[in-house]
Structure 1
Amino acid sequence: MLPPDVIARIADELAEADRTHGVIPRITARYPDATIEDSYAIQGVWRDKNLAAGRRLVGRKIGLTSKAMQQATGITEPDYGVMFDDTVHRSGAEIETSRFSNVRIEVELAFVLREPLEGPDCTLDDALAAIDYAIPALEVLNSHIELEGRTIVDTISDNAAYGAMVLGEVRKRPDEIDLRWVPGVLSRNGEIEETGVAAGVLGHPATGVAWLANKFAQHGARLEAGEIILAGSFTRPMWVAAGDEVVCDYGPMGTVTCRFT
């Protein structure tokens, strides 16, 4: 693994890039031997400094769970990051573009847990039993590491490129709807840009929740009741800029909208 002082220095670089809305050189270009364990250690240092500064953790994001996203990034395994309370918006929100770097939108479902969920042998059925409800969500990507040539080590270190999420209003229990067939029709300024169905996420969008519980078990941790789990995009990311109006139609789960200023 990278030495602790190097991990701390990279976490500080990412924190400064977040503050200034900048971009830093790829970690893997400077430290080609950096591992996935190093990247989660970097993310952990960054997370803990945010918690110490008073931010409140409300959930986790899972990324790179669909073929669409893996093909778009060239990265072939899922990752995860943390979500703080000040990054959660409701449908109809105005979002300041200058707060982010490399701003893109993804179409996802989010899940709120009714009870704790832990591995190491968590299954899809276990995850569905622990979920209180699903809710449609847009994720705002926020990448502080140069995109060209990045690997999963770079992405994880950068909190899995999470910036914010916009939640819809419709809530569905897993037994109320076949979550695999929830559609997403994503439009920018009135033109359809991306479409997909939630089954594109590992065959079922809640499979990622089980994957995350099992991943956490490797570190002696679990997912807690009340946490929001953003399950991964089932469309490719869509670039946005100031002035763009974004609408996503989730069929029986309603629409989610936001405007970038």
Structure 2
Amino acid sequence: MQLIDIGANLTHDSFDPDRDAVMARARDAGVTRMVVTGASREHSPLALKLAKQHPGELFATAGVHPHHASEYTAECDAELRELHAHSEVVAVGECGLDYFRDFSPRPAQRRAFELQLQIAVDTRKPLFLHQRDAHADFMAMMHNFDGRLGPAVVHCFTGTRAELFDYLDRDWYIGITGWLCDERRGQHLRELVRHIPADRLLIETDAPYLLPRTVRPAPSHRRNEPMYLAHIVAELARDRGEDVAVTAANSAAAATAFFRLPPR
């Protein structure tokens, strides 16, 4: 299998002591390419730097997560636009709305999201989206940009059936993480993933977050790593009633198309 992790927070400081070993373990598990998530003014440049250090293996996004929306100034917007001039940056985001935590005020979230949607229009790059407990406002803001945006992926989908079909009706891609493996919160996803078309299904770890709860033996440190993408795709294939090789190949093809990654 050749897997593509479309969302790994490899710039997180928990990887500082052993980042090279983490990447080696990912390769050994069949993860051939990864997209490093840029989710703040601080970490988006670090994601690009990491991608430049590993050409053809790592790529980056550049954006500001709604948790950090309060930092989205005119200077921040200019910095993001400069990052997007680099070919290694393959998507705008992580951006969107998060009313579950409200770490930034909601008006600030909406402003930062709108400005990043405009970057996607101007750069013609795909969108790496975040939405939690903000579906109505999220859809309304995306609707305001109808006809001007390219492809979009709703990263780390954990929502309802109605939300899923709202996204699929817009031909958006869906990112599935180890949340699928959480018997407390993700059981509903076991049925929903059957409805995602193969050419719209992307897989991701969101490492170091969301360690799949069904990994055995569970690591004592509880840190998620890209190597566990193989575990996620195996569970996903089972829930979809597919051979794991089929799910892996289809998700890699979808990721390559979505991010316009170079052929290998």
TM-score range, shorter chain: under 0.3
Higher helix share: 2
TM-score w.r.t. the length of structure 2 is 0.24
Q: Which has the higher contact order (CA 8 A, sep 6+)?
A: 1
Higher strand share: 1
